[in-house]
Amino acid sequence: MNATPRKWNNETWPIAAAMIQYPNLLPDGRSVQDQSAEEWAATLADIVEAGFTELDPTDSWLRLADLTPSRLESFLALTRSLGLSIPAISTSRRSVIDAVHGDEYLAYGHRVIDTASAIGASAVSFGLFEPLTEAQKQVLWFWTVDGARNPDDPATWQKAVSRIRELGRHAEELGIELSLEMYEDTYLGTADSSVRFVDDVGLDNVGINADLGNLIRLHRPVEHWQQMMAKVAPYAKFWHVKNYTRMEDPASGVIMTHPAPLESGIINYRAAIRMALAHGFSSPFLCEHYGGDGVSVAATNRDYLRRILPR
How far is C-alpha 301 from the chain's CA centre?
A: 15
The dihedral through the CA atoms of 178, 126, 90, 305 has a sign that is negative
DSSP state of 132: P
For the chain, what percent of residues have pLDDT higher than 90? 98
- Cross-strand bridge partners of residue 179: 125, 207
Whether the pLDDT of residue 2 is over 60: the answer is: no
For 54-88, the pLDDT digits (tens) are 999 999 999 999 999 999 999 999 999 999 999 99
pLDDT per residue as tens digits for the range 98-147: 999 999 999 999 999 999 999 999 999 999 999 999 999 999 999 999 99
Q: Which helix (H) or strand (E) holds 270?
A: helix 269-278
What is residue 240's three-state secondary structure? strand
Residue 6 reports pLDDT greater than 70? no
Q: Residue 7's pLDDT is what?
A: 86
AA letter at 194:
S
**DSSP per position, 9-48:** -TTTS-EEEP-TTS-SB-TTS-BGGG--HHHHHHHHHHHH
- Look at the alpha carbons of 103, 105, 106, 107 in this order and tell me if their dihedral is positive or negative: positive
The confidence score (pLDDT) of residue 289 equals: 97
Contacts of 36 (CB under 8 A, 6+ apart): none
- Judged against a pLDDT cut of 60, whether residue 32 lies above it is answered with yes
Residues 213, 283, 61, 305, CA torsion sign: positive
| pLDDT, tens only, 160-192 | 999 999 999 999 999 999 999 999 999 999 999
**Residue (of 246, 221, 232) closest to 278 by Cα position:** 232
For the chain, list the domains and their CATH numbers.
15-308 (3.20.20.150)
Q: Is the dihedral of CA 169, 172, 174, 179 positive or negative?
A: positive
User: What pairs with residue 243 in β-bridges?
Assistant: 260
What's the pLDDT score for residue 200?
98
Q: Rounded CA gap, 71 and 65, in Å? A: 11
Please tell me the predicted confidence (pLDDT) of residue 35: 97
Mean per-residue pLDDT over the chain, rounded: 96
pLDDT at res. 4: 45
> Residue 5 has what pLDDT?
52
